[in-house]
Amino acid sequence: MTQTTRIILDCDPGVDDALAITFAHGHPGIELAGITTVAGNVGLDKTTANALAVASFIGAAGTPVTAGCPAPLLRPALDARDVHGESGLGGAVLPEPQAGPASGHAVDFIIGTLAAAPGEITLVATGPLTNIALALRREPRLAGWVRDFVIMGGSAGRGNTTPAAEFNIWADPEAAAVVFGAGWQVTMIGLDVTLRTRPEAPVLSRMRELGALGSDLLLPALGQYKSVEGDPAVHDVCAVAYVAEPGLFGLVPARVSVETRGQWTSGMTVTDFAGAEPNALVAMEIDTGAFWDLVLGTYSQVAAAMR
């Protein structure tokens, strides 16, 4: 019998977040216990509306979507509309969702859900880390309650929003500093691997065979998803794919410190592979071919269930 991993996905959809939600819903080894939203790629109203619309469209309307923080801990909210489009979903226009957001705040949902099942649920964050930092500040035992904690964020090398910083860390570096300093192990799925997941022609062509999932969500979303470094990558899908198939990734222990003060380096994840007391496992290798086989296979199952 396949063992399933329950996850909470904290996200800011976002084209690649939408693709990550779809993967999490469709993979038989993952049970999506809840989606929480945060301001990031677009404002909180839009990330929440997008999460609801995607969940409803793919047949996951029963998954609770709980809204969280509308702005970073200390800084003004700066979005990534230039990358993800005005709506946050690129060129995808989805039907009105069947359900509204769950009542309550994402921080309470995260604390309450993990408290009820300590050691059982993996927390995956694919947006700025504001909700997670606040949850840790409110309930430091959270760090011991997760089965695993996985983020898409950071880089051991260069950034994508500035030369030094990746978007999710750059958007709320103070939150990221709290999260990396919480005494738990952060599995950091950063640009070192995610930039190797750009959907090229053969991948797009397989998406064309996925009926409405391909024609109404995946392809129009990706079609208007821009990136400064050329074809954009499906960063956030990597974090959820890691939960499903950790063997696709090569991880190295490291001490990761988040720069919050540097004039040119704010949001940098300074990654010391030789440092004492590692606080992170940093993904440095990915089997890209196997990754796409896994992702497209999972999308086929979602598409079949939608027919």
Residues of this chain that bind Ca ion (CB under 5 A): 12, 14, 17, 126-127, 236
Q: Select from 7, 8, 9, 16 the one that contacts ligand BDR (CB under 6 A).
A: 16
Instruction: Look at strands 65-67 and 121-125 and give their pairing.
Output: unpaired
Q: Select from 114, 125, 132, 152 the one that contacts ligand BDR (CB under 6 A).
A: 152
- Residue 184 region by backbone torsions, left for phi larger than 0, else alpha for psi between -120 and 50, else beta: beta
Nearer to ligand BDR, 37 or 41 (CB): 41
Is 235 an annotated catalytic residue? yes
Answer for the pair 37, 130: CB distance below 8 angstroms, yes or no.
no
Nearer to ligand BDR, 78 or 270 (CB): 78
167, interface contact from ligand BDR, Ca ion, none, CB < 5-8 Å by kind? ligand BDR
User: Is residue 298 at the binding interface for ligand BDR, with CB under 6 A as the rule?
Assistant: no
35, interface contact from Ca ion, ligand BDR, none, CB < 5-8 Å by kind? none
Answer for the pair 262, 209: CB distance below 8 angstroms, yes or no.
no
Kindly state the smallest distance separating residue 276's Cβ from ligand BDR, in Å.
29
The site string for ligand BDR over 66-85 (x = CB under 6 A, - otherwise) reads: --------------x--x--
Kindly state the smallest distance separating residue 20's Cβ from ligand BDR, in Å.
8
Sheet with 280-286, edge to edge strand ranges: 65-67, 30-37, 5-11, 121-125, 148-152, 186-189, 280-286, 249-258, 269-272
Q: What angle do CA 143, 6, 48 make, to 5 degrees?
A: 85
* CA 29 – CA 279 distance, rounded (Å): 27
Q: Select from 5, 48, 160, 187 the one that contacts ligand BDR (CB under 6 A).
A: 160
Contacts with 306 (C-beta within 8 Å, 6 or more apart), sequence order: 58, 59, 211, 212, 213
Part in contact with ligand BDR (CB under 6 A); list of ranges 165-173, 221-229, 247-255, 284-292: 165-173
Stretch 108-127 residues interacting with ligand BDR (CB under 6 A): 126
Say how far residue 247 (Cα) sits from the centre of its chain.
Answer: 19
27, interface contact from ligand BDR, Ca ion, none, CB < 5-8 Å by kind? none
Q: Select from 87, 235, 260, 302 the one that contacts ligand BDR (CB under 6 A).
A: 235
| Selected catalytic residue, list 25, 27, 84, 235 | 235
Burial class (CB within 10 angstroms; exposed 0-12, middle 13-18, buried 19+) of 85 = buried
Nearer to ligand BDR, 19 or 110 (CB): 19
Stretch 82-101 residues interacting with ligand BDR (CB under 6 A): 83
3 state SS of 152:
strand
* CA 296 – CA 203 distance, rounded (Å): 8
* CA 176 – CA 181 distance, rounded (Å): 8
Q: What angle do CA 82, 83, 89 make, to 5 degrees?
A: 105
Q: Select from 182, 236, 244, 296 the one that contacts ligand BDR (CB under 6 A).
A: 236
Interface residues with ligand BDR (CB under 6 A) are: 14, 16-17, 41, 80, 83, 126, 152, 160, 166-168, 235-236
Catalytic residues: 235
